[in-house]
Structure 1
Amino acid sequence: MTVFDESERLIWAGRGDAYAASFAKLCAYPVEHLLDAAGVGDGTRVLDVGTGTGTVAAAALARGARVTAVDPEPSMLALAARTAPQAELRTALLPELPFESGEFDAVVANFVLNHVGRPRAALEELRRVVRAGGRVAVTIWAKPPAPGQALLGRAIAAGGAVRPPHLPGGLEPDEDFPRDEQGLGALLATGGLGDAACETLSWDHRASPEEWWSAPAGGVASSGQLVRAQTPQVRAAIKRSFDRFSVEFADPDGMLRLPHAALLAHGRR
């Protein structure tokens, strides 16, 4: 396990409920696109890696698929058990999955590769457990981020936050890759997947300012851990910056309309 992986485990420990109340609805947007790209339908044996609250697993079950879902975080699996009670749930952490080679018809990972320290090894493992001719489909956040996605980062920077030692700055240079269509598509191709393709999904996510601020306030993701590591004075400055910048995205009803963009890539073993 890399330093990045260890940090991710600490960041997400016990954050299931806080994630469900904030970012989970945002991350649900690509689900149907992801399942379409993986060819998931009635009777498909599907592995949902990094299931989180179980949104992907539940959507696959609704299509008549036979679903196995894994996540390393117990608080996420507890939520997934309620969201997708018919799925087989197991604890597992990339890049090592407890399954036989070729065990599934389709493997999906929604916003998972951006949380692993060795994305190439993780992708190779996703390929290993899908059958010959089966499909792998993944999503990650695009970089540079869309304006709505950048809101929290802008507020954190404007508030004068200092990154604590337990939060790594990113992947090792030899493990990272461009977070654009060409970069993610090439990652799938070098991982041994044929017919690799990548597209950008763009949408506006609507949330109240209180809901959107609840993520960093609740310590969700690296941004939340960064906010929580600051002094009370700096946290207050970040919140003031958030309130000021949020006005740019406010609809007449007070809800925020936050532009986001994600990459959806898929390929065949």
Structure 2
Amino acid sequence: MAQTVFDRSERRAWAGQADAYAASFAKLCAYAVPGLLRAAGVREGARVLDVGTGTGTVAAAACERGANVTAVDADPGMVARAAQAVPDAHVRLAALPRLPFADDEFDAVIGNFVLNHVGQPREALKELRRVTRPGGLIAVTIWAVPPAAGQALLGRAVQAAGVTRPAHLPALAPEDDFPRTEQGLAALLGEAGLRNAACDTLAWDHRTTREEWWSGPAAGVATIGQIVTSQASAVIAEIKGHFDLLCAEFTGPDGALVLPHAALMAHGQA
């Protein structure tokens, strides 16, 4: 299974972004971790694979439960940061759609928002199934579409400035995409051969600050950051101006941003 144009674009976009991600969006993505561990049945002694570990949040939580944890990420900077943060896990460089593990090697596999960043989600899930023992559990998250109000804030600021997605940032190929709904994600797991697939929506308010929330896109983190940083300085300033105005909708009495988010969490059995 070869990498797609989308995969290669994702690798370039995330290169060198470990520190900026840790300081911005990592806290947001951590919300789903307890639910993922429960859905995957992570317990003491279980062989657990954390795919797309990022800064190691899932791996750390699984280690705290006494699991034997292997964690992989496609970016060397993320691998280095996760290895330092979670010394009890075996952290290595690897990327979907092909993982360097034997069939049936793990009792549980977790992918926290990793399916957002692969060019062939079905093939990625088939690979997760391959490395999971029969009867083992796989649990994944993705962002819901349409996005919740807080998640849409940065995109609204970009749109208000008249900015569209640059041509050098390819979207997922239509034949590889799927509905980002509970039904759509559960069906995707079923198509990948997982049994008893189910999906629920996680909804929460992410508390942050204007400075922290802007720091991610300003550094080029994620697709929204690549869109922002590919603009001329005057356009970036315009986006930031719209962002500041829109933040008023989400600013609480204490001055913090309170951003409603929603994600889909699905699980199935190999």
C-alpha deviation, 1:190, in angstroms: 1.0
Amino acid aligned to 2:95: L
Superposition map of 1:15-164 within 5 A: 15-164=17-166
- State the AA in 1 paired with 2:195: G
TM-score norm. by structure 1 comes to: 0.99
1:82: Cα distance to partner?
2.0
Counterpart amino acid of residue 174 in structure 1: E
**Runs of 5+ in structure 2 lacking a partner?**
none
Consecutive aligned runs of 4 or more in structure 1 exceeding 6 Å deviation: none
Distance 1:177 1:72 in 2: 23
Q: Residues 56-108 of structure 1, C-alpha deviation per residue, up to 9 Å, x if partnerless?
A: 00000000000000001011111101221110011111010000000000000
What's the counterpart of residue 197 of structure 1?
198
Contact 1:160 1:234 in 2 (8 A): no
CA distance in 2 between partners of 1:11 and 1:252 (Å): 36
- Structure 1 distance, partners of 2:84, 2:204, is 28
Helix, strand or coil for the counterpart of 2:43?
Answer: coil
Unaligned runs of 5+ in 1: none
Counterpart for residue 244 of structure 2? 243
Q: In structure 1, the residue corresponding to 2:116 is in which secondary structure?
A: helix
2:210 alignment counterpart: 209
Is the 1:162–1:230 Cα contact (8 Å) retained in structure 2? no
Give the counterpart letter for 1:46 in structure 2: V
Deviations 1:212-268 (A, max 9, x none): 000110110011111011111111110000000000000011100000000000000
Aligned Cα root-mean-square deviation (Å) = 0.7
State the TM-score, normalized to the length of structure 2.
0.98
Which amino acid in the other structure matches residue 224 of structure 2?
Answer: S
SS in 2 for 1:140: strand
Residue 253 of structure 2 corresponds to 252
- Aligned to 1:253, the other structure's residue is in SS state coil
Residue in structure 2 matched with residue 228 of structure 1 by the alignment: 229
